[in-house]
Amino acid sequence: MTVRRYLLIKGVVQGVGFRPFIYNLAAEYGLKGWVLNSTDGVHIEVEGPVDEVEGFISQIRPKAPPLARIDSIEVRELEPIGYTDFTIRHSEGDSSKYIKISPDVSICEDCLRELFDPTDRRYLYPFINCTNCGPRFTIIKDIPYDRHNTTMRPFKMCKLCQAEYDDPSNRRFHAQPNACHTCGPHVWLERSGSRGIVAERDEAIREVIRRLSKGEIVAIKGLGGFHLACDASNQEATAKLRERKRKSLKPFAIMAPDIETIKTFCFVSDQEEKLLSGYQRPIVLLRRKPDAPIAEAVAPNNEFLGVMLPYTPLHYLLFCSDLRPEGVKPFIALVMTSGNLSEEPIAIDNEEARERLKDLADWFLMHNREICTRCDDSVAKVDLGTQIMIRRSRGYAPYPVDLHIDMPQILACGAELKNTFCLTKENHAFLSQHIGDLQNVEAFKFFADSIEYMKKLFRIEPEFIAYDLHPEYLSTKYAMEFQGKLDLIGVQHHHAHIASCMAERGIEGKVIGVSFDGTGYGTDGRIWGGEFLVADEREFVRIAHLKYLPLPGGDAAVREPYRMALSYLWDLYGDGLWETGLPMLERIDPSKLRLIVRMIERKINSPLTSSCGRLFDAVSALAGVRSVISYEAQAAMELEMKAWREGGLKVEAPSYGWDLIKDESPWLVDMSETIRGVVEDVLSGKSAGWISHRFHRTMADVIAVVCREMREEFELNDVVLSGGVFQNRLLLNLSFKRLAEQGFRVLFNRDVPANDGGISLGQAYIAASRVRG
Ligand SMILES: [Zn+2]
Ligand SMILES: [Zn+2]
Ligand SMILES: [Zn+2]
């Protein structure tokens, strides 16, 4: 019996080789009909014997191309009409619908094989790709995803490429970025400050390898922006790059040619190996081996290295022997840090890079394929047996985070630092790539442009805007522009952190939320950051927090952690602080110290804060680890590293004292005794590592005890740990263990960062619940 059936397949089915797959599958079963890509999914009609049609349908999910993600298959019965062949119909544009756009995908095994096959016509071609791999999000200008809507538009395919593109049985059938040496983009080398072409194509790459091996710094145009590259084992080169990047000590990411090489300088578990080699190719934080031949300047004072594998063919060429000049040793790893000065967005345009990076790089490896959308490398780690995102960007964005509920169309603007925003539709939360720190003018422009772009891409017209309560955040000011036009929903920062975890884990109802971070605007106008909440997806009540202390100088105290140490000392000892004999007090200009104490005393420019990040700062400064920072959270991070260097989780150390004061509401967590203990340990010559161990255990103790008290009071058993402080591995592990031992269900962020990069998801989740009323 002949039947005809119509199928609508939704999910990530565009630009992933889905149509040729359907074409070939239909051929296999001898079926007639057609397949069509549309903005709402892939439409198919198949006609043939009933068994064959059913066989065909049953094989769609199991045999789908590797990058496809099928959400649903809808099937309808139709009257047979006698198709005579199977055709691939042209894409249809429909402005009201949208499709999911694939992130950029690292080079596949097949393309890699061809890249190094001297008999292949794309031998050593830096832009080789196919339907299973290559650029997507960063080259797409509009949908549907067709070549003329991408930055490949200026490159007219040669006869051979066109034939592949037109052949449904070819791996490059409708591979939009398809290209070769003859017709596609190419690379060239320029000397910084002069735009003359020094070398082109293979010669340019050979020359870059030579220059890198001599310790020079090369700006390399990549997939989502420029990297600054140098030899990661070269002390002088890496130190020079640090010097040029305004001496910030923020760790550089490195790229190594393969897993085997990474294993020579880092410990790599099976899970970490899987994360490293996945098609997203994030930077993975790995424990370094003690004798790792990686220059100290790559990640100063850090026990972990951010390592990634090559993800574009060009990266592979930098490591390959085929282009390596004679006498040059293979690289163990290259520094591959974002092509920017500090917190400004990564450079993407050739002209912009020439200007902005001219004092940073000695050379520029350019190419002529335009980057439409900026996208930084993602950062992830494996901890507590699971993958945890630290920066969700290239390889992940713009795939949505799928929620368990349908959402109204909301724009959530996120926070200020590490900004991402989020647009929702159906059960999808489309989180933007990493936008950066919005205090930066360029980053703010990127933020505003990206919102417009993603609205267009996903056909979302938000009816509601969620924003952070901080009146000075540029993301908040952006939201305020819509006052009177759209419904605005303000969301408290720490509530949003907790909700970000609830959203990704599909939790509704009340939980105990422990929200620890550096900064966030409280409902009382003060700076919060050490918060215990009873929260659900709509509201929260602040049950306990770290005792308020002055933050002398406001933002200056964030850059100079010793100021917060002084605040804690003054609170504990008053004028007696000068008699403590603490070494920290001797390291800093006495007139400056007195000035700061006067500020605290007279409450001048000293807003009150309950920040947990600032408590870590204070202890770091007191313990002699870090008094002044050059990048965010450096003092806390280096304090943690002291503990990892001295045994990590294996060490048993007694907690310091602290008090929970329950006679007011909210309860207060008073850390005075901890500070006293730290001071005593410092004065009796205990190591910073020991102090760090004791302090981390104290904080886990605080979390365990306060959560237990809250359970008794509110009968809640789920604890959500969120906020940037929980990126601290030691604290997360110790707290998790303590809470689990007490029988709590403990949840923490996995798919979106615990830091402010995840805030927008939490905002959207809360806003949706308030809208539902
Ligand atoms: Zn490929
Ligand atoms: Zn070609
Ligand atoms: Zn935060």
Residue 155 CA, ligand 2 centroid: distance in Å: 9
Residue 202 CA, ligand 3 centroid: distance in Å: 46
Nearest ligand atom owner, CA of 313? 1
Residue 703 CA, ligand 3 centroid: distance in Å: 18
Residue 402 CA, ligand 3 centroid: distance in Å: 22
Residue 227 CA, ligand 3 centroid: distance in Å: 28
User: What is the reported pLDDT for 93?
Assistant: 57
DSSP helix/strand/coil, 461: coil
Q: What would the 3-class secondary structure string for 551-570 be?
A: CCCCHHHHHCCHHHHHHHHH
Q: What angle do CA 745, 421, 152 make, to 5 degrees?
A: 120
Of 617, 614, 625, nearest in space to 682 by CA: 625
DSSP helix/strand/coil, 354: helix
Strand partners, 412: 422, 466
Residue 244 CA, ligand 2 centroid: distance in Å: 40
Q: The tokens of 758 are what?
A: 């995840």
With beta carbons less than 8 A apart as the criterion, state whether 710 and 512 touch.
yes
Residue 513 CA, ligand 3 centroid: distance in Å: 13
Distance CA 560, CA 416 (A): 20
Q: What would the 3-class secondary structure string for 57-77 be?
A: HHHHHHHCCCCCEEEEEEEEE
* Sequence-distant (≥ 6) Cβ neighbours of residue 680 within 8 angstroms: none
Distances 643 to 12, 267, 589, 650, 709 between C-alpha atoms, Å: 44, 18, 29, 10, 29
Only one residue has tokens 């909301």, namely 410
User: What is the reported pLDDT for 92?
Assistant: 63
User: What is the reported pLDDT for 381?
Assistant: 98
Residue 185 CA, ligand 2 centroid: distance in Å: 10
Residue 18 CA, ligand 1 centroid: distance in Å: 14
Of 294, 306, 309, 303, nearest in space to 238 by CA: 294
Summarised one tens digit per residue, pLDDT across range 563-577 is 999 999 999 999 999
User: What is the reported pLDDT for 280?
Assistant: 97
Distance CA 136, CA 130 (A): 11
Residue 311 CA, ligand 1 centroid: distance in Å: 11
Nearest ligand atom owner, CA of 726? 3
Residue 485 CA, ligand 3 centroid: distance in Å: 28
* Sequence-distant (≥ 6) Cβ neighbours of residue 586 within 8 angstroms: none
Q: Which residues surround ligand 2, an ion (CB under 5 A)?
A: 158, 161, 180, 182-183
Residue 129 CA, ligand 1 centroid: distance in Å: 4
The answer, yes or no, to whether the previous bond of 300 is cis (omega within 30 of 0) is no
Residue 519 CA, ligand 3 centroid: distance in Å: 6
pTM: 0.94
Only one residue has tokens 């936008």, namely 435
Nearest ligand atom owner, CA of 108? 1
Summarised one tens digit per residue, pLDDT across range 133-185 is 999 999 999 887 889 999 999 999 999 999 999 998 899 988 999 999 999 99
With beta carbons less than 8 A apart as the criterion, state whether 120 and 484 touch.
no
With beta carbons less than 8 A apart as the criterion, state whether 644 and 696 touch.
no
Nearest ligand atom owner, CA of 112? 1
Residue 387 CA, ligand 1 centroid: distance in Å: 26
Nearest ligand atom owner, CA of 172? 1
Nearest ligand atom owner, CA of 132? 1
Of 374, 341, 334, 337, nearest in space to 359 by CA: 341
Please list the ranges in the chain whose pLDDT falls under 70: 15, 91-99
Residue 289 CA, ligand 3 centroid: distance in Å: 32
User: What is the reported pLDDT for 65?
Assistant: 87
With beta carbons less than 8 A apart as the criterion, state whether 151 and 372 touch.
yes
Residue 173 CA, ligand 2 centroid: distance in Å: 13
Residue 474 CA, ligand 1 centroid: distance in Å: 41
Only one residue has tokens 């091996």, namely 213
Nearest ligand atom owner, CA of 529? 3
Residue 560 CA, ligand 1 centroid: distance in Å: 49
User: What is the reported pLDDT for 145?
Assistant: 82
Summarised one tens digit per residue, pLDDT across range 177-231 is 999 999 999 999 999 998 889 999 999 999 999 999 999 999 999 999 999 999 9
Residue 750 CA, ligand 2 centroid: distance in Å: 42
Distance CA 215, CA 239 (A): 10
Nearest ligand atom owner, CA of 175? 1
